[in-house]
Structure 1
């Protein structure tokens, strides 16, 4: 039987360079990350997702890779990576890493060989055009920053394609040699112990745009089957987590009944969640959950509040997006790419712990596997003085000491400035202070994670949206192996009550609430405070 560990996992996303500096050079590293795994263990994390740590010119936070088989020297060595992997294993944590193979850095030896010699075997590893393409601005990913999707290279005397920035030329994934190299990269890191990959920009990876070929591409998704098959042969328990901002109608092509992507991020649901928070009603999120298809086979949705990029609201209507901007980022400097927000969760909710706790409880109650962005468990903010998405990638705030305890280096040497301003600065918000106090935000989130890990019904089972006659409440029922969990969330700033009209429920035992109470009769009144939440187990303990 396959090992479906991801069904009940808690994934924690880390930018290594921003997490913990062990040697005082101002940049986080693998030794520092290994030293801080106790914090993740205390939180209840079961899987660590690492943002790119490969050698890179670092023009795009490491997503511009110049060597897929190494560690950026500023983060340590392969030996340090292996030591970190062992430290994670000792704590029962798995590790997944970013697989960024839609593009490389323009400094990668493959691209340098490709541009320098038209007869090089690497020429066809990238997407070239001798003539200027008709529309060099079509499909821009970063409006307002990115100027084109094709750039002329004077050395090659040709145009190369790049879906992202011009220093990130696209790989030609229709080339069998490129696809074979991708499998080789995966095999290398699997041999070093990783449990899978978060696959970057999957729709761009599989779409053969700009490629001149005589052979029609029958099914671009077939590449995902190749990757899945290789992964299954090399390490059956490993997973593929797709970054794919796709519609629900497209999802079956990505899951393919378990033969392609193991998990897919639910971008549609994430955007409807924030629309619900902005409107203070559960209706948008409820409609999204009702429309979301159940992955066939062993697939799973990945759910999240914030990630390492902007909060992408591009799938909302202009009016809906405007509502979210007004609620969470009214200043134009808080917005980005004409579609999103470059703020952290705590800032968007004005540091209001009541609303933050409800949002986290909601995340953990949603059907799927929750993914947490580092620092959100203590309520970190952002630094809007940094460009673009860098605003949310600040050094982790460990203590009220200099640089937030992240590094002993002089301030000017830090990989990014530590947040030392306002109520969310490290003097007020840090892990050391919160872990010492049982009533802190961190401990509240850790309690929620514990409740989620002890509720496999949510990760493994099916979900039913219960109509309690109030659009401002979201009540979900999750069932698995004759066990059942009811979760309720109040999206408003007023107390709310509801009843469950279910003859099969004799008693409800509170597992997690913002206002502790004893057992409730199955037909009894359930009360939620303003922005309140409750998790209730039906008919006694789980069997």
Structure 2
């Protein structure tokens, strides 16, 4: 098979790994993870063959929203380290072939940010118009992103007698992108981090960044908000041609296509596929592949150079907001029946292994899907070893417990007293004495070894990242069978969502099948369908040899 140069489209076959510095590895023993600790664990990511590290916010913050309330977009929180420590992480990652992307959180600031402190000091402040202010909230107060904590998106400020807009917590006032000074500052922030060597940004809550409904004369001031997103993409491409914008856009597919820039592209390079993720959980609950198949077939054709990011769960609640109420209740009943496991009435605050009752067959099925579906797989830290959530931690923070490195005290995360940790370590059956890197590292049957194997197969199976996708027809509702074609190559990937074995038969055009997971070969019949029996929750990756 001819392999063309794909370096400019590195993200199409990347493996992304997301982590929070303060819960990954504590090196100075103060109970909080730090950049020096991360530097000492880069080799763990290298051994997984991760190619892109996504760092959650490490900027100075009062921590009212786990670092997403930022007081300095150019800084490093002193509790986590220094710019020098960060540059060392970037250097070590680069030496191991790992690119680094950062969270770009510019839809709002902390209310402790100097810009907002100035803005709320006087209506004459030069930073006043950096935020969105009104004398009276417009009728029909919109629901806040956090309906359990906020009853709307407007907060009265007593000193200046106006309301400011906050789509998230009241401690996070929205920035006003209709103001050219704000847009210039965002470009400077991006340029600063690109100059330090990052390879792009995961853009937080992109629709909120472009939402200008609260601004009077927004159209005259900004025009089409998507034109601004195109300008940002052009700026990044000029500064660093291979840098990406990976967007968090939880909308129906037609809305997501707009944020790619429509069929012509030119806006976000990648977006997380929230729709397929949610339908996957419905398929798991029903043991029926059809909901996921419907989502995959409903995906719009993407512009050249664009890509979906695939994920099993992220750092927030596992949102199910695109499912109907009945469908969402099915998933709740299957994977989070206790109200304490649910959040905002729309999602789950659990990790995958506990949701699946620890069944290793189903867990491996899902991670096989993560790497086999068309797109770029994204891992959340701890998924490679099967970490569970800690429901004792409030809200969506339950999945952000410390990384579990050893079976010892604090899971090897920190030498501090347990009560001094930034977050408590998970206990019970998913505690570090049962789930940790050290115990799985040299066990060929461990989940860590399995995920490492999946990464290796994915990285050498270019069809998945670059190829054309097609669902294959058969008679079994529980099975997703799809092929990926690129250049002269073809792979067929089959996954059985049912606990029952399936005698799968597929019409395949070739001479022989090579099983990429087991190494076994199987001859194809000269005519008629191939026999591909699947165990309960079974899966196979098959290269069709001409």
Superposition TM-score tier, normalisation by shorter sequence: over 0.9
Given candidates 31, 37, 42, the residue that maps to 2:42 is 37
Correspondence 1:439 to 2:437: no
2:338 is matched with which residue? 331
Give the 3-state SS of the residue equivalent to 2:225 in structure 1: coil
Deviation at 1:65, TM superposition (A): 0.3
Deviation at 1:215, TM superposition (A): 4.2
Deviation at 1:142, TM superposition (A): 1.5
Give the 3-state SS of the residue equivalent to 2:47 in structure 1: helix
1:509 is matched with which residue? 514
Give the 3-state SS of the residue equivalent to 2:75 in structure 1: coil
State whether residues 524 and 530 of structure 2, in contact with CA within 8 Å, keep that contact through their aligned partners in structure 1: yes
Given candidates 300, 303, 314, the residue that maps to 2:321 is 314
CA distance in structure 1 between the partners assigned to 2:163 and 2:26 by the alignment: 41
2:531 is matched with which residue? 525
1:186 is matched with which residue? 190
State whether residues 143 and 338 of structure 1, in contact with CA within 8 Å, keep that contact through their aligned partners in structure 2: no
- Deviation track 1:352-397 (CA, whole Å, cap 9, x = no partner) reads 1111100000111000111110001100001111111110000000
- Deviation track 1:389-440 (CA, whole Å, cap 9, x = no partner) reads 1100000000011000000011111000011x22111100000000021111
2:102 is matched with which residue? 97
Correspondence 1:272 to 2:279: yes
1:223 is matched with which residue? 228
CA distance in structure 1 between the partners assigned to 2:62 and 2:523 by the alignment: 59
- Deviation track 1:318-356 (CA, whole Å, cap 9, x = no partner) reads 000000000110000000011000001111111111111
Correspondence 1:456 to 2:459: no
Correspondence 1:155 to 2:162: no
2:368 is matched with which residue? 361
* More displaced stretch, 175-184 vs 214-223: 214-223
Given candidates 9, 25, 48, the residue that maps to 2:14 is 9
Deviation at 1:146, TM superposition (A): 1.9
2:209 is matched with which residue? 205
State whether residues 59 and 70 of structure 2, in contact with CA within 8 Å, keep that contact through their aligned partners in structure 1: yes
Correspondence 1:390 to 2:397: yes
Structure 2, unaligned runs of 5 or more: none
Deviation at 1:242, TM superposition (A): 0.4
State whether residues 366 and 458 of structure 1, in contact with CA within 8 Å, keep that contact through their aligned partners in structure 2: yes
Deviation at 1:252, TM superposition (A): 2.5
Correspondence 1:485 to 2:488: no
Q: How has the CA–CA distance of structure 1 residues 215 and 6 changed in structure 2, closer, same or farther, with 3 Å as cutoff?
A: closer
CA distance in structure 1 between the partners assigned to 2:218 and 2:536 by the alignment: 62
Correspondence 1:79 to 2:111: no
Correspondence 1:50 to 2:51: no
Structure 1, unaligned runs of 5 or more: none
2:74 is matched with which residue? 69
RMSD of equivalent CA atoms:
1.3
CA distance in structure 2 between the partners assigned to 1:479 and 1:321 by the alignment: 34
State whether residues 507 and 530 of structure 2, in contact with CA within 8 Å, keep that contact through their aligned partners in structure 1: no
State whether residues 351 and 424 of structure 1, in contact with CA within 8 Å, keep that contact through their aligned partners in structure 2: no
CA distance in structure 2 between the partners assigned to 1:394 and 1:339 by the alignment: 22
State whether residues 301 and 369 of structure 1, in contact with CA within 8 Å, keep that contact through their aligned partners in structure 2: yes
TM-score between both structures, scaled by the size of structure 1: 0.97
Correspondence 1:496 to 2:502: yes
2:312 is matched with which residue? 305
Give the 3-state SS of the residue equivalent to 1:432 in structure 2: helix
Correspondence 1:424 to 2:430: yes
CA distance in structure 2 between the partners assigned to 1:62 and 1:221 by the alignment: 27
CA distance in structure 1 between the partners assigned to 2:439 and 2:228 by the alignment: 48
Deviation at 1:9, TM superposition (A): 0.2
Give the 3-state SS of the residue equivalent to 1:87 in structure 2: helix
CA distance in structure 2 between the partners assigned to 1:460 and 1:342 by the alignment: 33
Q: How has the CA–CA distance of structure 1 residues 149 and 537 changed in structure 2, closer, same or farther, with 3 Å as cutoff?
A: same
2:148 is matched with which residue? 144
State whether residues 108 and 173 of structure 2, in contact with CA within 8 Å, keep that contact through their aligned partners in structure 1: yes
2:259 is matched with which residue? 254
Deviation at 1:500, TM superposition (A): 2.0
CA distance in structure 2 between the partners assigned to 1:59 and 1:438 by the alignment: 42
Please show how residues 229-244 of structure 1 align to structure 2 within 5 Å: 229-244=234-249
Deviation at 1:7, TM superposition (A): 0.5
CA distance in structure 2 between the partners assigned to 1:22 and 1:427 by the alignment: 21
CA distance in structure 1 between the partners assigned to 2:229 and 2:63 by the alignment: 28
Q: How many residues align?
A: 535
State whether residues 513 and 542 of structure 2, in contact with CA within 8 Å, keep that contact through their aligned partners in structure 1: yes
